[in-house]
Amino acid sequence: MKLCWISAFILLFTTQSFAHKRCDKRNVKKTILKIFEVVETGKSFELANYVVYRGEEESRKWKDHCNYKAPNEKHQIQNLHQKIVDRYIPYKYEFVKFTSQKESEGEWLVWEMNFYTGDKEPKKVYFAFLKVNGNYLLGDID
């Protein structure tokens, strides 16, 4: 009987974990599409709400989104906006694989994507997010 309860607990925990991953997968994908939409409409100020803060303030680092009103953060967002315009928006793309990995900053939620830039092989790009206060914030593009 004890083995039955342990098995049931493991099954329940595993099922919930997979459900959270599916939810993260879907929501991170939606966030990437929203970021592309925001960039296409030229709203750099709104893009800041989707980018994790990586600056000098330890109390905010990896725990907050960027603030477009702060000059250094505004500059970071404008550069990111231009990077997305130049390297990603003009091209067809596909979502390839979703993974997650725990690091010191938290759990990174990563979508591998292929961008078809006209080369023979698609360009692999990784969009990495952290979940901060219930929001998925872009932390890196590799």
| Closest among 68, 40, 64 to 134, alpha carbons compared | 64
Give the number of other Cβ atoms within 10 Å of residue 125's Cβ. 16
Instruction: Establish if 8 belongs to a structural domain.
Output: no
Distance of CA 131 to the CA centre of its chain: 8
Instruction: Establish if 92 belongs to a structural domain.
Output: yes
Instruction: Establish if 6 belongs to a structural domain.
Output: no
Cα separation of the two ends of the chain:
50
Torsions phi, psi of 81, nearest 5?
-55, -50
Tell me: the pLDDT tens digits for 11-68? 333 333 444 578 999 999 999 999 999 999 999 999 999 999 999 999 999 999 999 9
Q: Which two tokens stand for residue 9?
A: 């607990």
Instruction: Establish if 108 belongs to a structural domain.
Output: yes
Instruction: Establish if 15 belongs to a structural domain.
Output: no
The domain tally of the chain equals 1
Least confident residue range of 22-26, 36-40, 78-82, 135-139? 22-26
Looking up tokens 């596909």, which residue turns up? 94
Single pTM value for the model? 0.84
Supply the range of the domain harboring residue 46.
23-141
Instruction: Establish if 16 belongs to a structural domain.
Output: no
Instruction: Establish if 14 belongs to a structural domain.
Output: no
- pLDDT higher than threshold 90 for residue 126: yes
pLDDT for position 20: 53
